[in-house]
Amino acid sequence: MQNLVIVESPTKARTLQKYLGDQYQIEASMGHVRDLPKSDFGVDVEHDFEPQYVIPRDKRKMVNQLKKVAELAKNLWLATDPDREGEAIAWHLGKVISEKGGMGQEIKRVIFHEITEDAIKEAFKNPRQINLKLVDAQQARRVLDRLVGYKLSPLLWQKVKKGLSAGRVQSVALRLIVEREREISAFKAVEYWVIEAELSKHLRGETGVAPSAHLGGEVKEAFIATLIEQNGKKLAIKNEQSSYEKNQRFFIRNKEEADGHVANLAKASYVVSKITQKEVRRYPYPPFTTSTMQQGAANRLGFSAKKTMMLAQALYERGLITYMRTDSFNLAPSAIVSARNYIGQKFGKAYLPSAPRLYKSKSKNVQEAHEAIRVTDVKRQSSDIRQQGGLNRDHVRLYDLIWKRFLACQMSEAVLDQTTVDVQAHLRGEPKVSSGAHLGGVTYLLRATGSVIKFEGWLKLYGKEAEENEDEKKQLLPSLSENQPLNLIQLLPSQHFTEPPPRYTEATLIKKLEELGIGRPSTYAPILSTIQDRFYVEKQERKFVPTSLGFAVTDFVVKYFPDIVDYSFTAQLEDELDEIARGEREWRPTIREFYTPFEKKLEETAQDAEKVKMVVEYAGKKCPECGKELIVRIGKFGKFLACSGFPDCRHTESIEETINIKCPEDGGEIVVRKTRRGKTFYGCKNWPVCKFASWTKPKASKQS
């Protein structure tokens, strides 16, 4: 055998085989072949943090097979993924294969960001050595996380609850969720009122003001304007209750004030006082990075970050998209040319900017040698991949989103005509609202804003919802002129209450972590999965809510290990890992700088910290065996009910969530249950008499 190529997965191996031919034998390592031991610390702190790598038991047979095959090969090529993790896998492969001696081959590292024929052949023409700087950065992250996990977790067992574990970056994400929940709990809603007026141009034959009625015909070309000023003074008041709300504005404090303004406005005369028109250009979003792909898939498709990455991995390994772990906006010149050619042919010259669009990241740590996430062949649409084996509807939907985002980023900007109409409402005589009134009457200012898409540009492909702006009142305005009188159709006062900051979704939490500089493309999905798997948070309507366990862990770590969950400190560590990857910093001194004060704090906390008292959540039910209160506990498979009399009474039962759907077999209530492994299913509450169960949520019948 002349050439042995090792990749991570069988799917990737099959795709490469199509392009390399029979001269190459391609084997899959199935991911990492060495790692720190699961049941031991695995880091020799006394000898400069030397990692104690082992071959996992389930990988030994495969590793032995690779060694045997490698002995027969003249050339050994390592074609693992083009990031730190992939570089580390290649390094470990080299270590385990060379341990047996082999044929003494030179290990050739090949890098490609897309699995296409041109990219593969170019990579094999230009192999390189393993980049030990990237390997060191990956080792540093792995050792850092092991130090925190193995040293802090036993302390959590001792001081909080048995069986807990802590993670370096996961703890920071959990803190964000906990702090947001406390901000929501402390929030006090403030009442405010908004007054809108539905107005129209005077119809022929009409005179005067006709609230809620029309003289001489039907309403034509109506629009909505919002009250914003009285006698030159803005009615808007800024609410400083919270950091989230400091930019929220509300207008009128209570119903009494609102009623006074409505009484005046009902008798006022209306005229257009000013019209402002301007052309607004909306430029396309940059191509996807890992985080923006996860956010886009969450918002548009409802996918979790974990699911998005699994789907993207499959698309990449089949050669359909470029590598999916990246923080770069960079695009290959050839890909830009292909996109521009397609846009010109498919949409026309008007949709093609005069020059290619280039996007640069603001972060100094972005690896520009990497590409953004794009499709490998812009002519291959989602309909073309539906029949590929191993791909389902969700693969196709994600591919379509990536295809649209890539093409849209090279299209012309959208052009909108934005119009702002100021309407003056003047009331002569004694006003009902005396505050700030002039002797000659009261003058109000109302404002209407509307925009019309003049040229769709990139929105034609990516969708008009992409240009929505919540700060604007979207409406089509009639043709109006300054000093034109208007007819009042009706006044629309409405009561509102200021709202607390929203809970984090997967998309908004990833966005926040990225803004803080915490985590990297390969870590976002594992972070979100880990805090859910440990039952520190749960999802309610796709939003993260911390459990009592999550509160307890966060409070303990914030109190005794503030650096571990400090946003700036964690971001600085990420920067230092990037510096290691660039060869600007050594990894062992970096670990030592972290570990020395951390170890001291561990010793102090073990001696001084008091045991945390967990908040007891009562279920509102009595124990059927002893009559004491049932409480909510969290175990290996999630929440369950247990008797508060434990250990004298050991009664437990599952938590059943009803969903207002009747069982299709006996009409009983459908409840949400979990298997022993924690997987959710739906069953009849009358089990075991009724055996109905389903992995998918049953549809509600008309009767239910």
Topology of the domain covering 3-130 = Rossmann fold (3.40.50)
Give yes or no for a contact between 541 and 153, defined as CB atoms under 8 angstroms apart: no
Topology of the domain covering 138-187+502-608 = Topoisomerase I; domain 2 (1.10.460)
Does pLDDT of 205 surpass 50? no
For residues 249 and 470, what is the distance between their CA atoms, to the nearest angstrom?
13
Mean pLDDT to the nearest integer, 295-301: 94
**pLDDT tens digits for range 97-115:** 875 444 567 889 999 999 9
Alpha-carbon distances of 295 from 261, 278, 288, 512, 571, rounded to whole Å: 43, 32, 10, 11, 20
Strand 652-654 to 657-662 pairing: unpaired
Instruction: Give the residue among 603, 576, 594 at the shortest CA–CA distance from 147.
Output: 594
Of 150-159, 163-172, 174-183, 667-676, give the lowest mean pLDDT range. 667-676
Q: How many beta carbons lie within 10 A of that of residue 685, not counting itself?
A: 16
Measured in degrees and rounded to the nearest 5, phi and psi for residue 92 equal -65, -40
Mean pLDDT to the nearest integer, 501-507: 94
For residues 628 and 583, what is the distance between their CA atoms, to the nearest angstrom?
63
Q: What is the pLDDT of residue 202?
A: 65
| Domain edges within the chain | 3-130, 138-187+502-608, 191-283+415-497, 290-412, 617-694
Q: What is the pLDDT of residue 196?
A: 95
**pLDDT tens digits for range 391-426:** 999 999 999 999 999 999 999 999 999 999 999 999
Q: What is the pLDDT of residue 704?
A: 40
Q: What is the pLDDT of residue 679?
A: 67
Nearest-5° Cα angle at 90, 87 to 95? 130
Number of H helices, E strands in the chain: 17, 25
DSSP letter at 489? E
Give yes or no for a contact between 674 and 666, defined as CB atoms under 8 angstroms apart: no
Q: What is the pLDDT of residue 238?
A: 55
Does pLDDT of 218 surpass 60? no
Strand 629-635 to 617-622 pairing: antiparallel
Mean pLDDT to the nearest integer, 91-97: 92
Q: What is the pLDDT of residue 216?
A: 45
Mean pLDDT to the nearest integer, 485-506: 92
For residues 378 and 336, what is the distance between their CA atoms, to the nearest angstrom?
10
Residue indicated by tokens 């504005």: 249
Range 290-412 classified under CATH 1.10.3720.10: no
For 244, counting Cβ atoms within 10 Å of its Cβ (0-12 exposed, 13-18 middle, 19+ buried), the class is: middle
For residues 671 and 658, what is the distance between their CA atoms, to the nearest angstrom?
4
Topology of the domain covering 191-283+415-497 = Topoisomerase I; domain 3 (2.70.20)
**pLDDT tens digits for range 344-359:** 999 999 999 999 999 9
Does pLDDT of 204 surpass 60? no
**pLDDT tens digits for range 513-523:** 999 999 888 89
Give yes or no for a contact between 663 and 669, defined as CB atoms under 8 angstroms apart: yes
Does pLDDT of 126 surpass 50? yes
Give yes or no for a contact between 457 and 413, defined as CB atoms under 8 angstroms apart: yes
How much of the chain exceeds pLDDT 70, in percent? 88
Q: What is the pLDDT of residue 618?
A: 82
Does pLDDT of 508 surpass 60? yes
Does pLDDT of 470 surpass 50? no
**pLDDT tens digits for range 634-643:** 766 667 888 9
Q: What is the pLDDT of residue 678?
A: 55
For residues 414 and 462, what is the distance between their CA atoms, to the nearest angstrom?
11
Mean pLDDT to the nearest integer, 305-332: 95
Q: What is the pLDDT of residue 249?
A: 57
Does pLDDT of 83 surpass 80? yes
pLDDT class of 474 with cuts at 50, 70, 90 = low
Q: What is the mean pLDDT of the chain?
A: 87
Give yes or no for a contact between 276 and 419, defined as CB atoms under 8 angstroms apart: yes
Q: What is the pLDDT of residue 250?
A: 58
For residues 383 and 385, what is the distance between their CA atoms, to the nearest angstrom?
6
Of 66-70, 202-206, 337-341, 658-662, give the lowest mean pLDDT range. 202-206
**Which residues does the annotation mark as catalytic?**
323
Mean pLDDT to the nearest integer, 670-686: 75
Q: What is the pLDDT of residue 471?
A: 43
pLDDT class of 35 with cuts at 50, 70, 90 = very high
Q: What is the pLDDT of residue 412?
A: 97
Does pLDDT of 89 surpass 90? yes
Which pair of structure tokens corresponds to residue 245? Answer: 């709300």
pLDDT class of 436 with cuts at 50, 70, 90 = very low
Give yes or no for a contact between 75 and 108, defined as CB atoms under 8 angstroms apart: yes
For residues 197 and 209, what is the distance between their CA atoms, to the nearest angstrom?
13
**pLDDT tens digits for range 682-696:** 888 887 788 888 888
For residues 63 and 61, what is the distance between their CA atoms, to the nearest angstrom?
6
Residue 594 C-alpha from the chain's centroid: 29
Instruction: Give the residue among 98, 82, 102, 90 at the shortest CA–CA distance from 33.
Output: 90
